[in-house]
């Protein structure tokens, strides 16, 4: 049985403990939702203010050159690459995860134009499936979207599949795919794989090139702490880059964007996957989050996230009834989150949030708790479970106000 003294000893020995002071965590809040929106790095406010007041306010349009705004997508892409096991010239930052999924799907289809199926699993994050559905509709019937259960993926890898799109860490359960094994099985059949790293990048070591990955996407506002709506990223393996004509052929993907040619000529390499003008304020905020992540040891991050998740599971199961674990019990099969199911999950989560323990809810019955090792402590986990136990014992969650659904859950 874990004791409070055990928890204090774990925190005292935590090599990442110093990073907590780099984030703005409100007093009285235990933040267990960094898997949905990362906490604010303290450096971000000053950096964004400098971009607004000095770079934009004083240098105006000259800042594209004097402050090198134009290189932000590549510069940030190179920083993301270091976190996901990619080469510096294989990642571009910009747009949203949804847009980058569309780019990657279109690129994969060009690698095997005779094939017509784009494949994913049921229960994947909705935007992945929705972008597939939209692309299939746009094709006028030439492309078909197919969704299968997780244990049916191997059987569905047939010679008409043009691309397999999977989320590495499942957004709801936290269950991991074996990236290396899945990629190898698909590629043996000539099928490129697109990995959605939205719940993996910054939470654990990722080794795209070691796994010989084809494409990957991910967002900047979860474990990368880039702020709400932060720019996303797109990875394209170098071997594929010049084989693809970008379907979203925006002007910054042109070989010479400031020649203003009437016809599109794609830039060499990863630059051709740029599209619209980069969101400089969002890039500035994201870079602050990335710089903190690059200071931390990713192996230590992974070890601590596993320990926090294990502690949370053990404490909940020791102290509470009526909660069903929906994440893998084995930490090696789980991302940096833990999900429990409860029939009154939404109301319970709202009561928890009012008490300062911020997680989130995923329909129909999942209470989801994220463990961001840079600013969540073992004592936070201990205290959070104690508050959850009090919420359940007091029955406060049954109050009508906690059962009124908000627009964002």
Q: Is the peptide bond before 364 cis (omega within 30 degrees of 0)?
A: yes
Q: Are 368 and 361 in contact (CB under 8 A)?
A: yes
Q: Are 102 and 127 in contact (CB under 8 A)?
A: no
3-state helix, strand, coil split of the chain in percent (to 5) is 45, 15, 35
Tally of CB atoms within 10 A around 188: 9
Distance CA 57, CA 49 (A): 10
Which residues are CB-neighbours of 31 under 8 A, at least 6 positions away? 25, 39, 358, 372, 375, 376
In 153-214, beta strands by DSSP E = 161-167, 193-196
Annotated active-site residue 172? The verdict is no
Q: What is the DSSP string of 235-269?
A: EE-HHHHTT---SS--GGGBSSGGG--SS--BPSG
Catalytic residue chosen out of the listed positions 74, 79, 172, 222: 222
Catalytic residue chosen out of the listed positions 221, 273, 371, 402: 221
Catalytic residue chosen out of the listed positions 368, 369, 375, 380: 368
Q: What are phi and psi of 76, to 5 degrees?
A: -70, -35
Burial class (CB in 10 A: 0-12, 13-18, 19+), 89: middle
Annotated active-site residue 14? The verdict is no
What are the residues facing 337 on neighbouring strands?
A: 370
Q: How would you classify the pairing of strands 117-121 and 161-167?
A: parallel
Annotated active-site residue 125? The verdict is yes
Cα 277 to Cα 18, 32, 231, 274, 362, distances in angstroms: 36, 34, 12, 8, 34
The backbone region for 366, taken as left when phi is positive above 0, alpha when psi lies in -120 to 50, beta otherwise, is beta
Distance CA 138, CA 143 (A): 9
Catalytic residue chosen out of the listed positions 23, 31, 102, 125: 125
Annotated active-site residue 196? The verdict is yes
Catalytic residue chosen out of the listed positions 33, 78, 128, 196: 196
Annotated active-site residue 180? The verdict is no
- Burial 247-260, CB ≥16 within 10 A → b, else e: eebbebbbeebeee
Please give the positions annotated as active site: 125, 196, 221-222, 368
């Amino acid at each position: 049985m874990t004791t409070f003294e055990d928890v204090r000893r774990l925190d005292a020995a935590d090599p990442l403990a110093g990073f907590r002071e780099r984030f703005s965590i409100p007093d009285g809040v235990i933040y267990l939702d960094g898997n949905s929106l990362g906490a604010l790095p303290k450096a971000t406010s000053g950096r964004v203010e400098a971009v607004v007041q000095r770079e934009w306010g004083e240098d105006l349009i000259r800042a594209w050159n004097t402050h090198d705004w134009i290189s932000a997508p590549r510069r940030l892409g190179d920083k993301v690459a270091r976190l996901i096991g990619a080469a510096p010239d294989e990642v571009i930052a910009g747009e949203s995860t949804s847009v980058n999924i569309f780019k990657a799907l279109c690129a994969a289809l060009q690698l095997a134009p005779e094939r017509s199926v784009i494949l994913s699993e049921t229960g994947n994050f909705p935007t992945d499936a929705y972008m597939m559905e939209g692309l299939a509709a746009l094709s006028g019937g030439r492309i078909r979207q197919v969704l299968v259960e997780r244990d049916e993926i191997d059987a569905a890898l047939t010679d008409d599949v043009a691309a397999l799109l999977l989320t590495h860490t499942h957004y709801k359960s936290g269950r991991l795919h074996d990236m290396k094994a899945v990629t190898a099985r698909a590629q043996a059949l000539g099928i490129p794989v697109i990995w959605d790293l939205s719940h993996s990048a910054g939470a654990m070591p990722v080794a795209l090139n070691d796994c010989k990955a084809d494409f990957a996407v991910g967002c900047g506002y979860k474990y990368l702490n880039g702020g709400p709506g932060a720019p996303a990223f797109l990875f394209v393996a170098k071997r594929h880059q010049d084989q693809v004509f970008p379907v979203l052929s925006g002007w910054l993907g042109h070989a010479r964007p400031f020649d203003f040619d009437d016809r599109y000529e794609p830039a060499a390499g990863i630059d051709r996957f740029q599209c619209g003008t980069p969101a400089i304020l969002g890039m500035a905020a994201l870079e602050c989050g990335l710089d903190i992540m690059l200071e931390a040891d990713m192996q230590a991050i992974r070890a601590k996230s596993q320990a926090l998740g294990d502690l949370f599971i053990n404490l909940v199961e020791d102290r509470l009834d009526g909660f069903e674990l929906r994440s893998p019990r084995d930490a090696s099969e789980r991302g940096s989150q833990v999900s429990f199911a409860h029939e009154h999950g939404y109301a319970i989560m709202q009561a928890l949030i009012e008490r300062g323990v911020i997680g989130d809810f995923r329909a129909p019955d999942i209470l989801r708790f994220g463990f961001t090792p840079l600013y969540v402590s073992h004592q936070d986990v201990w205290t959070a479970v104690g508050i959850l136990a009090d919420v359940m014992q007091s029955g406060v969650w049954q109050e009508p106000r906690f059962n009124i659904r908000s627009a964002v859950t």
